[in-house]
Structure 1
Amino acid sequence: MSQTKYYIVAFLISFSCALFAQSNDIEDIDVLKMRIKNTIAQSDLDRERGDYFNAKDNLESALDIAVSIDDKKSQGIIHTKIGKLQFTVNEYNKALVSLTKAAGIQRELNDDVNLAITYSIRGTLHASKKEYKDALEYLKSAKTLFEEEDLENKIPEVTLTQAKIHLSLKDYKTAKALFENTIVSAKKNNQNTILSNALIYNGKALDKLGNNKQGIALADEGLQIAKAEKSVENINEGYLTLSAIYENDKNFEQAHDYLQKHVQFSDSILNIERANLSPEKRAERISTYNAAEFQKLKKQVEDQESDSNLAKITTILSIALITILSLLTLSLYKNNNIRLKSNNMLQEKNDDLIEAMKKAELASKTKANFLSTVTHELRTPLYAVTGLTNMLLEEEPSEKQIPHLKSLKFSGDYLLTFINDILQINKIEANKVELDPVLFNLKTKVENVCSALNNSALDNNVIMHYDYQKDLPETFIGDNLKISQILINLIGNSIKFTKDGDIWVRVYSIANKGNDYTLRFEIEDNGIGISKEKQDNMFESFSQGSIQINRKYGGTGLGLSIVKGLIEILKGKIYLKSELGKGTTFFFEIPLTYAPETVKIEKEDYSKNISKLDISNIKILIVEDNKINQMITKKILNKMNLECDIVDNGEAAVEKVKENTYNVVLMDIHMPGISGLEATKIIRTFDKELTIFALTAVTLEDKMHEFDEAGFDDIISKPFKQEDFEKKLYEVLAANQNTASSF
């Protein structure tokens, strides 16, 4: 009986040990599977950081574990990831081998999900090699498998690659349709990186189909998403795409700007790639590998030292040395080839970029020179037109003459506005418009604009309504002049296109945090409205609804383009809502900072202030070659009881200043003989205190440093506002008088 018990106890112990061992085996497998998962995750992190060698090491470690426990599914996944990594570093043949292994395992296991991923990567690889037929077949298979497995979120990347292939094949309509499908799917799945890329490439397709404007809009939208996502590749692609589209649209200045940004980003990307894929990095990698192998061989030698087998030691060391030298030789050979190919490719790319940049710079300079010449030639006679018209209106003309003079004044003002609009658009495009924030009363500012435009509204039998949010503060810090210009353009636009109707101007807050407010301005009318097809282009330069509208209502078509540019400078946004025959609403949002109101300063009448000064000994020199302009400037000064001399060239101006004592010199710039700039430089060699104003039609900001270097005290642009001219004169004369009285 005791022996039977002994066998039973022995059996139970053996059974328990077997169960315990099996349990341990299951636990070991689970631990190893977890290790595979963690190692793959680490590899993914390394790959995202650009550390491709460590990523590959981790994948190979994971593969060894998967093989040791016969985890076929993991083996397939790892081969796919290794293939993708090899594809990333341009090892196409190795990538094909890895992807083929992965697909074989996945087909054997009916692992359709991962097989679809493998097919998708292989399709992209064939596309990179321009093997478009094979690429499309693999991508089609991948898409079918994803659809069967209900993996909708995997499809956008596939359709994006298909679209790019059709774009390369110049099948632009198919490409456009596929890009649009990708955009819809990516938005639905919140895949912003894919969305950004699809928008940018769809911009390319639309450009090829002749729709430059929409192409720019989509590419820009994709670029903004890329910036928000900090996707360097997409940002770079966005810059290059916009440069190409703007060049096709003949907008060489914008093309040049985006090309410069692309070059800068290309450099930063190349630096990253060099750090991870350069021959030096590979050499360092191989060196590290060889050192590890050498240590293994050395250990073998040490283990065998006890046998004192000198022949074996010598053999092993020789093999190690030969292996290391062979690997290093192969590495150097490959690295030289890689470096040579990379340098050739980079040189070709840089040559193309430099040539394109030269063309863009030439176009930009040509445009600037053209604007400089044309505006000067137009503004100079305009000075005569507006000046003479104002004088004639002030000299009690007959009733029959008044309408003609007013028409002349209107035409002159219209032409001057048109020129100023062109100049402002040029400044906006060149990023030369600067902000001038001041403390101002917003409510009063908008009221003043509405009041100033009310007469024009009444002429069209239009009633204006103004609504300012009751609890909204009134005083803010901001660029009130630009806000006024925006409102004048938008309200004036509504008045122009509304007859026998109403216009509503509303100001209210849509968000605030402390003293920082986001304000919305609405300008609504019930005028003729804008058709849907015209709304997309309303903010483009020289854009009116149609030729008939332009003839009937007038206008240059520049106002809304200026408005959009100014609002973007103020870090705001503008929107349009309209329906043909029912009216239009423009609403824009800008940030403003609340500040307490300060003491209001009354506007001064500088003409009266000058008359209060002792001007008996004041003498002014006018340097001007145009006879009409001489007469106008002299009359303006004589009306203020100021005496003046006139010369018509720079040499005479220098002699006059040497022979006489003047308080102010009004110096024209473009004259026969020496220019006003040269004359001023000469005067400054013997008189540094004399006040010299540049009285000129030149307005380009790039020339301003020349005026400073020549020694001008200030610049008065022609045609000038009389109150501005009077203010500058008063400030100088008052300062001179105060200085004289102190002695």
Structure 2
Amino acid sequence: MRKIQLHINVLNLTLLFLCLLVGCSLHAQDSVPVRDMDPYFDEARKLRNQNKIDLALQTLDKAAEKAEEGEDLKGLIDCYHELALLYLKLDKESDTQFYWDRASVLLKDTAYPYGDAIHKYIEAILLYEADQSFQSLFMLNEAKQLNNDRNFFNNILLTEAMVYMKLEKYESAAKNLNSLVVNTDIYEKDYLSTRAYLGLADLNYRTENYEESSKNGEQALELANANGFFLEIRKANDLLSKVYSEMGSYQKAWTNSQNLLKIQDSLFTIDKVKVEAKTADKIRDDYKTELIARQDDTIEELKESQNRSELTAILTSAFLIIISLLAVSLYRNNQIKLKTNDLLQTKNRELQVARDGAVQAMEAKTNFLSTVSHELRTPLYAVTGLTHLLLEENPSEHQKEHLKALKFSGDYLLNFINDILHINKIDANKLEPLNMEFNLKKVINEVMDSLQQSAKENKTKLLLDYDNDIPSHLMSDPLKLSQVFMNLIGNAIKFTRGGIVEVICKLKEKNGEDVTIYFEVKDNGIGISKEKQQSIFDGFEQGSIQINREYGGTGLGLTIVKSLLGLFGSKIELKSNLNEGSSFMFDIDMKSKDDIVDDIDFEITQGEYDFKGLHIMIVEDNKINQVITKKMLNKKEITCDIASNGEEAVTLAGENEYDAILMDIHMPGISGEEATIQIRKFDQQTPIIALTAISLDDSLESFYAAGCNDVVTKPFKPEIFYQKIGENIFDKKAKSSLS
């Protein structure tokens, strides 16, 4: 009977163990001898911190076998607790509660202080997750009274810091986290330090101490990368992306966002779920097979002893166990389905975080480009303004030719800056080409004239094969077309020395007002290899490093051409062979102006104004721009005063009468908008024209809302500049006198 009772006791212990599919990693460190399964607990802890859940399951299975072989109830309690902590790692609160309840049952009949301490520790975490922070702190304090193990105490310090953060008790949280940064834990030193650095980074981010937050985040990321803490790597990259964005370090924010995108698919993937489920099923099936084998052996022994009563008891036990196994199997299958659904939701949330990070990085790039645009426009204003003044001073004929080329290049550079800023909008379908009247042959000739000097330097001849059947007045976007030809012809000249570059324009089709024109830019230069032709239109791509070093350039020209032609619904084609030259071909659909009833003026109607005797105030903080604007006004016999900032402008406007005020917007001190608002408090009549290097993407509504009458964007064409001044002084006076 003792032998049979022993079999039944083993079976009952095994039944209790059926729900345990994995072991645990937070090693119980009571004053008891080291158990055979303790090395497995240590290994499982490392795997859990590295988010290798399937391997942790296998390791803990071996620990569970040791606990079963030794009938170690304390080890079984530890396993239930550690399984609960493992599910906390997966954000599975219901499963955590399930195994915590199983441990509660065993603790009622077992004197185990360490088990009671861990039990209260897990309960404190569950209270924290349920937003019961003060009860959580109370339970953590009770747990500390039951055990003084260093690893256990360090984990309690970390959990307390999380609770303090939620309560916004940042000083208390910082105290705990700083103590963990330099911890001497023999099991989880690097993991605790990583979590502490992450906590400090989050704390400093919340308190807007971004410099310190970035340092803590970088230290956390370094430790996480060194130890393979994948969840902490993701969290560190996510936090650093936000911190660097707040600091204005947009390149670093973009780098961390890209790192975040790269590791998304390495965490909580569906394949990983399948591996974990397969491991859990194998553990369960192994136990089932082992138990049935044990029962078969026992039945054979009972048959030999002819003990019918014992056989009946064993068969009954076997039947109950098999029924229990089936029930657990059904439960586990259901749990796996729920787990898969939850992880799919987790994956969706991570994808949303990645999307938000990408959007944030795109905003950082947009801000960067806007700043660069403004900084480039200011010196460009000096170039175009001085060119205009030199052309007005009767230069010699050969100087006039150079100055005209310089003027055209300045205008082209301004359009180039604008189009670079528009590339992002092209991809987002937010930008469309203009539709205005122009002469195609004139546009192409202007481009070729501006590039004649480069062609002469390369001893290359420029030819134009232009179809005279093409209508002289077309409707499209001449600025973007000129940029397309500037890039294509410029590239052809750069890579052709002592050869010919030919531009071909042919009327392909004309149906009423609809016109399709074929364009080709071909040369007999160095050509492009077949393998490079697929990537030549990518950003910053050239034929090779040697070509880049010999011929120069950024490799951005063909990317811009491809993007701009996309605005017209056109695609560029390339034919080329090495050392035989290249041909770039495309078609563009336009409309013929001759066939359109058009009531829109496509050119600014120039008014004839007598500016002599006008007195105007220039508000400008840049000294060079002050001189250029003043000289342009003096050319028209206009006198002027200069204010170097917004405060000085308000003072001069109050002390003097002006026919108009030219107001820069971006200035140190008070801005041009604020200065305009203050002037409008005592002067409602004087025209105020915003003269500023704003981006074309900026909204002009705020300028008009502040009280500006008109806006001129720097750098500007002189005729537009004078036209705006005349309209706002003379035309408005005429309207006032009529009313």
TM range (shorter): 0.3 to 0.5
More helix by share: 1
TM-score calculated relative to the size of structure 1? 0.47
TM-score calculated relative to the size of structure 2? 0.48
Q: Which has the higher contact order (CA 8 A, sep 6+)?
A: 2
